[in-house]
Amino acid sequence: MIVVATADFELYHEVVDRLRERGVAFTTVEPDADLPDRASVVVTAPDDDLAADVADADRVTATADEARRAVDEALALLRGSDGRTVVGVDPGTRPGIAVLSGETVVAAFHVPLSDAVDVVRREVADAVDPLVRIGDGARLQGARLVNDLDDVTVELVDETGTTPYLGTGARGMGDVLAAVNIARLEGERVDSREVDPTAGELQRIKDRSRRVSTDDRTIDDRLARRVAAGDLTVEEALDEHREGQGSD
């Protein structure tokens, strides 16, 4: 059982709220009280002095700002996993992102590509030896993620068969569930990924520029390549084209 034993009012409420959101059984005691016999993990603040002997329980210390990390760590200890943070990413224009602590999924996201790197960085910021696994599909978007996450350990994973069958009512969950499966597969360590866009990929970017433009404008190959590389958004490429910097 998880026990919250802290005199820190803010930490107490943050941890308790998160445990309730996750449907986890727990109890609370004052720091100077004896721990319940079934206590296996104790969550406290760094400056809490526990009167009870916690030799038979794992202790997780955190501040209020670290409440989510503390809950994730406590759950990993409770379930007996090593607690390593692994982030799986199913790349695309809206990547699915799954965060695992050991074998437990502790967070999931479905965000625009422009936000994906910030989400991943935020999720691994306080983790010890985190690992990011990115699927090898959606080559252009995946390469952009690999190259932008140059300060994190990244593996490129064969994502064949990672997208599950979705039954009634599960629409929109495929990318996130694929990200969970990707996180659980070993891949090849990569520091960067260079992808030369195909003619078809460039044409799709150009077609998209025409669809989103307000003046029936299509960017040229040079600007499409910069969009493919992640240097520009389609909107920024259209602005450059309007300013006469693109060539027809």
Per the CB < 8 A criterion, the answer to whether 13 and 4 are in contact is no
Assigned domain for 150 exists: yes
Are 102 and 148 within one domain?
A: yes
Domain span at 94: 85-190
3-state secondary structure of 155: strand
Share of the chain above pLDDT 70, in %: 95
Are 185 and 214 within one domain?
A: no
- Rounded Cα distance between 245 and 247, Å, is 7
The model carries a pTM of 0.69
Assigned domain for 247 exists: no
Are 89 and 186 within one domain?
A: yes
In the listed set 63, 78, 93, which residue is the last one of a domain according to the structure? 78
Per the CB < 8 A criterion, the answer to whether 158 and 145 are in contact is no
Assigned domain for 50 exists: yes
Domains: count for the chain: 3
3-state secondary structure of 88: strand
What are the pLDDT digits (tens) for 129-160?
A: 899 999 998 888 999 999 999 989 999 999 99
What are the pLDDT digits (tens) for 160-177?
A: 999 888 888 877 799 999
Assigned domain for 248 exists: no
CA distances to 143, 147, 201 from 221, rounded to whole Å, are: 19, 22, 11
Q: Is it the case that residue 83 has pLDDT exceeding 80?
A: no
Are 104 and 177 within one domain?
A: yes
Assigned domain for 186 exists: yes
Q: Which DSSP helix (H) or strand (E) runs through 108?
A: strand 104-110
- Rounded Cα distance between 233 and 212, Å, is 11
Per the CB < 8 A criterion, the answer to whether 99 and 105 are in contact is yes
Among 62-66, 105-109, 122-126, 159-163, which stretch is predicted with the lowest mean pLDDT?
122-126
Are 159 and 119 within one domain?
A: yes
In the listed set 19, 45, 78, which residue is the last one of a domain according to the structure? 78
Q: Residue 157 maps to which CATH number?
A: 3.30.420.140
